[in-house]
Amino acid sequence: MTLPGQGAIDLLRMRGLLLRSTLVVIFAALLASIAAVAFTAYITIQRAHQASETRLNELLDTIESTLSVACFAKDKTLAGELAQGLLSNSDVLAVTISTEQKVLVNKQRAQTTPAEDAHPTALLKRLIYSPFDSQKEVGHILLTPDPEVIEARIQEEVRFAAIQLSWQLAMVAFAVAAVMLLFIVRPIKAMSDRLHSMDPTTGERLPIPRRHGNTEIGQLVNDINALAERLVSALAAERHLRLAREIDEKKYHAIFDNAESGIFILDNTGSLLSWNAAFGRLFEINLAGPADQFSWLNIGLLAWDNPDQIAHLSQTALRQAHSVSEDLLIHFPDGKRRWVNIVLSPVGENLLQGVVHDVTPHKEAEAFARQLVVTDPLTGLANRLGLEASLRSLIQEYALSQRGGFTLLLLNLDEFRSINEGMGLPAGDSILQTTTSRLSSCVKNGDSIARLSADSFGIILNQMIQTDVADKICNHILALIRQTYFIDGSPINLHASIGITRFPLDANDVPNLLRQAELAMDSAKSGGGNTHMFFDPVLAETAEHRRHLQNDLRAAIQNHELVMFFQPIIDLRTQRLAGAEALVRWRHPKRGMVMPDSFIALAEKSGLIIDIGLFALDASCRQLRAWQDQGLDYTLSLNVSGRQIPDGLSPAKLHQVITHYGISASRLALEITEGVMLHDIEKSLRWLNAVHAMGLRIYLDDFGTGYSSLSYLKRFPIDTLKVDKSFVQDMRPDNNEHTLVGAIIAMGRSLGLQIIAEGVELPSHLVALGEMGCHYAQGYYFSRPVPAEEFATTATKIAALLAKPAA
Amino acid sequence: MRRFITLPLLFLALLNYAAPAMAEPVVVVNARSSVTQLSQDEVVNIFLGRYRRFPGGGAATPIDQPEGNPLRAEFYRKLVNKDLDQINAYWSRLIFSGKTLPPKSAENAAEVLRLLSANPGGIAYIERNLLDSRFRIVMELR
């Protein structure tokens, strides 16, 4: 409706109904009127002819008597007069009057036209009878009516009728058009216009045209609106469905396309109907999807190592109607191999859905692991499992033949751990590899060597159980080990310990053989190493004893058999009791009081030291709290083993316990040895700094017995040195120990450290230490370690002792 | 008054009626004429001007009785069943053309006889009692 032309076209299009119905009405009316006009014309012609004839007859009637006279008398003149009179009537074209014998007159109108011939049959003839005898014919008259006149009359009649009909027709057509326009076209046009711009989804609906509430148009509008309603709801439902489907499809497509696993669909002939990119990559199909040239690619044509397997697998899946899985090998033409795990699941309609993973790394790792299980990667020797397998097979062999037997050697490099820690793992690895080659040189075919742990080797001497030969071989081995190793040009000397056990002499199963060999080796090592030892049942007993002890110790911790003892420490400057060293004791139900020396080593070895340490911490803190409650400002020092650092006695745990008892951290001191710091310097240093920062004091215990490295004293946050009791006990005036203790004290003081002398047993010690400037003293001179309940009494005794002048 | 008019008319009518009853015209020709017998038609044709010839040839000259002679009316009444007015109307149409003339009207009845006897082709009607040898009856009117 923007352009007038467009509007006209729209109008035309919209008024098509109007045009059409009007045309039909006009056409029908036209037909009817043509028929009517034709009928009218026909009737008019008939009537005109009749009327003409009637008129002529009437005319004749009027002159009949005269005519009969003329004919009777054969009077031409009279006849001529009559004819003339007749011709004066416009209807008459010609007149002929005749008697029986001759024509009296034959007259025609002057303006006669050739149309005369047109109606020869239209002649009107009348017989004329005698005026005196009505039976007697005396002549006749022929009248020719003028067709033109009739014609003209007809034409006029017809024209009139046509004009009348045309008017009626025009009126009817106009009325029909108006009705169509008003009642049908305009409402429909309005609806159509409204429909063009209507958006039913926004709830717009057609209004019912005015005055059409009860008409078919109104009904149509209601129907259209109802239809729109249904369409909108159907569309909404459809859109919702489509969205959901699209999202689903996208999800599945994303999963399908981006899956790392190959996914494919297979029909029962083995044709691949569809596969994803991962599948294409796996099988090195160049195109990601099934392009034309790859349509109906058969799965059997892929680079299977054995195509029969996949054919068999898919047949099985189809037949059993449940998922099947198998690991299959792909073998590419270029020689590359790849393992895949394939899972085929029937999805109905004779189709299989398949998922393929590349399991080559798993397979390789598996193979590697299988190898690894029995092999030591560093030396290429069998590992413990490999050795055990060899032992088992030898034992089985023996069970069959009942002949031979073998000797098992367990070799451990002495002090290898310190080499590893001091020179680094590569140095250790190098030594192990050299050792391996040295060992290999002294065994014969049929014997086997294995590496059991870091520095342990197992050697099976097959078909050999003679003690002297074993002795000789061991000596040879030990001599080879003693040869100098060179690491980056530096010479290193090592020695080893060997434990020996024999099958079936000493044991007849693998675990026992290994345990016996280990016991023998431990025995050799505890003697200083560089030797070999045959298994002895006594060793087993000792080991058994140790095992019992360990179990007892575990139970002791649970049963609260451990107790804390406290050995006083005296401040030499103030001559007062300053505090104590906390020491753990085991109150064994059968063996009585057990000293730490007997179980601490075992506890460290078994890890029980952690629990014991926590117990000691708790007991110490509780004691400090008790003292604090009594108004005593004593300090306590607690021994810490290397196994407890850094996690066994973490700074967090220390903080928790100290806070729990509400004591000052400065009252608690931790005693460590130099060995602790050697173990893992970085970790130990971090731990020491952490606990020192909490306010705890750090005592360096047993000073003088180890490396006594001065640099450590500077690097580590040490507050106090404890001079080892072995020096103090042996102090005599002017002996070495006296000098040493004096030097340690002087050095410590010069570094700003506090010094505690342990092992003070004689008054002379006290005097000497006092002269040397030692800060604290501890020893039997004052008191042995005492249980908490005795400490107060001890303190009183010490006070009394100190009050006496030194003798 | 009316009665006085009606009575003379009735009288006249009776008179007229009575006269023909007594007078019976016959059609006669000159005895010299060869015509012996004529049909009524032939007599009509000749007296009313259609033909002025006898059927056997020869001109025929009809002679009318004078006007006022009851025989004339009697003749035409018997011949063509017309009264004289009608006959006169007939002739008036023909006279117009001047081609056919009505029969010659004699001065009196005697002249009829004289004209007839003088004209061989003459034909007239007379009362039977006036018939003599000069005339020949060719038709009797009944």
- Per-residue pLDDT at A11: 55
CA pair distance A458, A443, nearest whole angstrom: 12
- Per-residue pLDDT at A653: 92
SS3 at position A786: strand
Structural fold of domain A16-169: Beta-Lactamase (3.30.450)
Pick the CATH number of A376-534 from 3.30.70.270, 3.20.20.105, 3.65.10.10, 3.90.1300.10: 3.30.70.270
A438 touches chain B (CB under 8 A): no
Q: Residues A86-100, buried b or exposed e (16+ Cβ, 10 A)?
A: bbebebbbbbbbbbe
- Per-residue pLDDT at A12: 57
Q: Mean pLDDT throughout A242-269?
A: 86
- Per-residue pLDDT at A372: 65
Q: Mean pLDDT throughout A724-745?
A: 89
- Selecting from A72, A77, A81 the residue whose C-beta is nearest the C-beta of B50 gives A72
Place of tokens 């026909």: A42
Highest-confidence range of A677-681, A731-735, B97-101, by mean pLDDT? A731-735
- Selecting from A66, A75, A131 the residue whose C-beta is nearest the C-beta of B99 gives A75
Q: Cβ–Cβ of A132/B82 closer than 8 Å?
A: yes
Q: Mean of the per-residue pLDDT values for chain A?
A: 84
CATH code of the domain made up of A549-803: 3.20.20.450
Q: Cβ–Cβ of B93/A131 closer than 8 Å?
A: no
Write the pLDDT tens digit of every residue in A223-251: 888 888 888 899 889 999 999 999 888 88
Q: Mean pLDDT throughout A379-407?
A: 86
- Per-residue pLDDT at A659: 94
**What residues in chain B have their Cβ under 8 A from chain A's Cβ atoms?**
41, 44, 48-50, 79-82, 90, 93-94, 96-100
Q: Cβ–Cβ of B44/A132 closer than 8 Å?
A: yes
Pairing of strands A337-348, A324-331: antiparallel
**Which pairs count as long-range contacts for A518-524, CB under 8 Å and 24+ apart, including other chains?**
A518/A410, A519/A543, A520/A410, A521/A410, A521/A411, A521/A412, A521/A456, A521/A497, A523/A499, A524/A497, A524/A498, A524/A499
Query: Does residue A121 carry a pLDDT above 80?
Result: no
- Do the beta carbons of residue A636 and residue A566 sit within 8 Å? yes
Cis, bond preceding A646 (omega within 30 deg of 0):
yes
Contacts of B48 in chain A (CB under 8 A): 72-73, 132
- Min Cα distance B27 → chain A (Å) is 18
Q: Mean pLDDT throughout B6-10?
A: 48
- Per-residue pLDDT at B4: 46
Query: Does residue B14 carry a pLDDT above 80?
Result: no
A81 touches chain B (CB under 8 A): yes
Architecture of domain A262-364: 2-Layer Sandwich (3.30)
- Do the beta carbons of residue A378 and residue A491 sit within 8 Å? no
Q: Mean pLDDT throughout A691-716?
A: 85
- Per-residue pLDDT at A579: 93
Query: Does residue A2 carry a pLDDT above 50?
Result: no
Q: Cβ–Cβ of B90/A76 closer than 8 Å?
A: no
A72 touches chain B (CB under 8 A): yes
Contacts of B99 in chain A (CB under 8 A): 73, 75-77
| Closest chain A residue to B80, measured at CA | A132
- Selecting from B44, B50, B96 the residue whose C-beta is nearest the C-beta of A78 gives B96
% of chain A exceeding 70 in pLDDT: 94
Write the pLDDT tens digit of every residue in A440-468: 888 888 888 998 888 899 999 888 888 88
Q: Cβ–Cβ of A66/B80 closer than 8 Å?
A: no
Query: Does residue A711 carry a pLDDT above 80?
Result: no
- Min Cα distance A104 → chain B (Å) is 13
**Mutate which: B43, B45, B50, vs A, most A CBs within 10 A:** B50
CA pair distance A518, A458, nearest whole angstrom: 10
Q: Mean pLDDT throughout A501-520?
A: 88
- Do the beta carbons of residue A135 and residue A129 sit within 8 Å? yes
- Per-residue pLDDT at A160: 86
Contacts of A69 in chain B (CB under 8 A): 90, 93-94
Write the pLDDT tens digit of every residue in A122-175: 678 888 888 888 888 888 888 888 878 778 888 888 888 888 888 888 888 888
Q: Cβ–Cβ of A77/B100 closer than 8 Å?
A: no
- Per-residue pLDDT at A371: 67
| Closest chain A residue to B102, measured at CA | A73
- Per-residue pLDDT at A446: 81
% of chain A exceeding 90 in pLDDT: 21
Highest-confidence range of A429-433, A508-512, A541-545, A626-630, by mean pLDDT? A626-630
| Closest chain B residue to A78, measured at CA | B97
Contacts of A133 in chain B (CB under 8 A): 41, 44, 80
Per the rule left: phi > 0, alpha: psi between -120 and 50, beta: everything else, A619 is: alpha
Least confident window among A143-152, A371-380, A627-636? A371-380
Query: Does residue A290 carry a pLDDT above 60?
Result: no
Least confident window among A67-81, A615-629, A746-760? A67-81
- Per-residue pLDDT at A689: 93
Residue A183 DSSP one-character state: I
Task: For residue B82, name the pLDDT band (cuts at 50, 70, 90).
Answer: confident
- Selecting from B41, B81, B94 the residue whose C-beta is nearest the C-beta of A78 gives B94
Least confident window among A57-66, A204-213, A238-247, A404-413? A204-213
| Closest chain A residue to B91, measured at CA | A69
Answer with the residue of higher pLDDT: A369 or B70: B70
Query: Does residue A806 carry a pLDDT above 70?
Result: no
Query: Does residue A679 carry a pLDDT above 80?
Result: no
**In order of start, what are the domains of chain B with their CATH numbers?**
23-140 (3.40.190.10)
- Per-residue pLDDT at A237: 92
State yes or no: ipTM above 0.85. no
CA pair distance A526, A540, nearest whole angstrom: 15
